[in-house]
Chains A and B, each alone.
Chain A
Amino acid sequence: MAIEKEKLLWMYEKMRTIRAFEEKVAELFAAGKIPGFVHLYIGEEAVAVGVCANLRDDDYITSTHRGHGHLIAKGGDIKLMMAELFGKKTGYCKGKGGSMHIADLDLGILGANGIVGGGLPIAIGAALAAKYLGTDRVVACFFGDGAANQGTFHEALNMASIWSLPVIFVCENNHYAISLHQHKHMHVTDIAERAKAYDIPGVVVDGNDVIAVYEAAEAAVKRARAGEGPTLIECKTYRHRGHFEGDPMVYRPKEEAEEWMKKDPIARFEAKLLEMGILTPSDITRIQEEIKAKVEEAVRFAEESPYPEPAEVLQDVYTE
C-alpha cells in the first residue's frame, strides 16, 4: 500500500474530527442550542475523507443535506461551521444558510444542498468551467442512494459523459432514502451498474474502508485530470443515526444496524494503523484530546458570537 504516513494520519484526524464534530452537534441539538434540522454524517466518514484526500484546494466539491463531513474533509473551518449552525453572524453564511447550505467558495466547496439531487447539475457546470478555462481541476460530486433516482442524476451523468467532463460522482449508498430501503426504491443492487447507461466506468467500494475509497477515488481523479471524463463510484455505507436528528428510525431493523456498527470505519482504520505501527494507543488519546479541544473551541466561538442584525435580512439577495 503506497499511501505515505502523513496522508494516513491526515485521513485519521479528519475522520476523527468529523465524528467529534457531529457527536457534539447531536448533543447541542438535543440541548436545544442548534435550531432547525440537522442531518448527521456519523458512520460515513470514510467516504468524504477517502475522496477528499485526493483533491487539491482548488478542486471543487458539491455536497448534500448531510454535508458536514464533506466540508470538514475539504478543509472547512469548524468554527465557522458551528457558528452557522447556531445561526450566528460569524457563521459561514452569516446565519442565512444553516446546516443545509454551508459553502466556502475559496475552498472550492460549492455548497451543501437542501434539495436531493440538486447538486449534480451544478457539479457539471463547475467541471465545464474547469475544462473551459484550461485548468486540470476536478469536481467531486457527493450524493446519496436516494438521489440516484432523481432526474438530475440521469441528466448530469449523461451530460458529463458526452462532454467528457472532469467529475467524480460519489454515491454514498447508506441504503436508505429517509425511511425507504434501497430494495424498495430501486430494482438494481449496485448503483454503479448505472454507469453503463452513460458509457462511463462504475465501481463499487466498501464505503466503510477509507483505504478502499481512497484508492477508487485516486484512479477516478487521475482519469478526470487527464481529461478522460467522469467516473461513478458507489460507496456502500451506513448512517449510524437517523435521517435527521429526531428521526425515530422505526423503519430499520436492530440487527441490521448492529451489523453495520461492527463495521465502523473509524474503528477499522484505527486498528489498521495500530497494526501498521503508524499509530500508538497514546497517539490516539493525544489526537482525540486535540480534536476535542478544537471542537470545544468551535462551540465557544459559536456561543460567544453575536446574532446577525435583523436588518441584515435584506442584504445579499443581489450583487450590487
Chain B
Amino acid sequence: MAERIISMYEAIAEAIAQEMERDPRVFVMGEDVGFYGGIFGATTGLWKKFGDERVRDTPISEMGFVGAAVGAALEGMRPIVEVMFVDFTGACFDQILNHMSKIQYMSGGQLKVPVVLMTAIGGGYNDAAQHSQCLYGLFAHLPGLKIVIPSTPYDAKGLMIQAIRDDNPVMYFFHKGLMGLPWMTIIEATWAPVPEEPYTIPFGVADIKREGKDVTIVAVAMMVHRALEAAKQLEKEGISVEVIDLRTLVPLDKEAIINSVKKTHRLLVVDEDYLSYGMSGEIVAIVAENALEYLDAPPKRLAVPDVPIPYSNTLEDFVIPSADRIAQAVKELLG
C-alpha cells in the first residue's frame, strides 16, 4: 500500500493522540495547546478529541504549569507540557533544574517524574534573539533529563511515543523549521512517510542518515538536513560524507560517533546552538578522549558563533550554518 505522507507537527500530534487513547494518565498542558492546537501545531486536533480536562490551556505562567506537571507526575499522571519556545524556559528554569530533574535522585529512587516537556527550537525565520535559540546543550549538561531532538516526521513520532512511555523526565525539542508548517519555508524532508500505527524508537541510538567514507558529520534537527544537502553537493566532487543524526543527546550514542570516526578518520560537528560550551564541545571532547589516534586531521566544529541570534536576514543567515558553509568546512578538513 502507498505510504502515508504527513508533516512533523502532525506526526507529533498523532503520537500524543495515540498515547492518550492508550493511557488515560497522559494529558497535555501549555499555552494555546487547546483550541489553538499549539502555536507550532504539535497539539493539533487533541482538544477536539479529548476536551478541556485532558488538553488544558494554561495562563502565561511557565513556572506554575511546569511545576504543576512535576506535581501531577508525582501523583501518578503522565503530563506532557509545552513551553512555547525554549527561550521561555528562563521563566521556569528552577522547576526543570532543581525539581523535575532531581526529585527522583534526591528521593533515593522512591519517586518518579514521568513528564514530557516539549518545546520549540531554532531560527531561520527572523524571530531574533529571544525566539530563535536551541539551548539543548544547557539541558544536556543537567543530570536526570533525557534530551530528544527529532529531525524527521518518522523519528518525531517514534521518539515522542518513546518519551511518553519513559518513566524519566524527557525534554523533547522540535525545530520550528522542520514542523512542516504552511507559514514557514517548507523544506521537503518535513513531509515524509509515517506509519499510522504506534511505534517507538529507542533513546540513545543515533541514526546514520547517510553513509560515507571520507568524513563524519554529526548533527541534530535542522543541521541534519543542511548536512545532507552539503553531502549531495560534495558527492559531485567525489567526496563521500557520512551524516550521523544523534536524535537524542541524553543518552548519547557515543559508539556510533566513535565507530564512524574510526572509519572516516575525520570529524565535523555541525550545531545550530551556540558554539561555546555546548553539544559540539562535548562530542569533540569524547572523540579527543576516545578516538584521538584515529583522527587524520583536527576535528572541526561549525556552530552559531557566540552571538545572540540576530534579526535581519543577512545577519541570521550568516550565523546559522548553511549547506555551503558545511561543504566548505568539509573541504577544509580534507585539506
Contacts and interface: CB of A to CB of B under 8 A. Distances in A.
A101 B130 contact: yes
B307 A250 contact: no
B311 A180 contact: no
B87 A313 contact: no
Given A151-B61, A307-B313, A313-B307, A101 B128 contact: yes
17 contacts: A36-B128, A95-B312, A95-B314, A96-B129, A96-B312, A98-B127, A98-B128, A101-B130, A114-B128, A115-B90, A116-B60, A147-B60, A177-B60, A180-B58, A307-B313, A313-B305, A314-B305
B66 to A, nearest CB: 12
Nearest to A312: B315
Interface of B: 31-32, 34-36, 39, 57-61, 63-64, 87-88, 90-91, 125-131, 183, 305-308, 310-315, 317-319
Given A179-B32, A246-B183, A251-B36, A35 B126 contact: yes
Nearest to B319: A313
Contact of B59 (A177, A246, A312): A177
A150 B91 contact: yes
B32 A180 contact: yes
Interface residues of A, number: 44
B35 A250 contact: yes
Contacts of A50: none
B315 A95 contact: yes
B312 A307 contact: yes
A35 B124 CA distance: 10
Contacts of A36: 125-128, 311
Interface of A: 35-37, 84, 87-88, 91, 93, 95-98, 100-101, 113-117, 146-147, 149-152, 177-180, 184-186, 246, 250-251, 307-314, 317
A85 to B, nearest CB: 9
A251 B35 contact: yes
Contacts of A100: 128, 130-131
B63 A114 contact: no
Interface residue SS majority, chain A:
loop
A179 B57 contact: yes
A193 to B, nearest CB: 16
Given A35-B125, A151-B61, A178 B308 contact: no
B314 A307 contact: yes
A115 B311 contact: no
A253 to B, nearest CB: 12
The 3 tightest CB contacts between A and B, nearest first, are A95-B312, A87-B312, A98-B311
Contacts of A116: 60
B315 A35 contact: no
Contacts of A184: 57
Contacts of A91: 312
Contacts of B312: 87-88, 91, 95-96, 98, 307-308
B60 A150 contact: yes
B97 to A, nearest CB: 15
B181 to A, nearest CB: 10
A194 B165 CA distance: 41
B79 to A, nearest CB: 18
Contacts of B306: 317
B275 to A, nearest CB: 12
A318 to B, nearest CB: 10
B249 to A, nearest CB: 25
B91 A151 contact: yes
B268 to A, nearest CB: 21
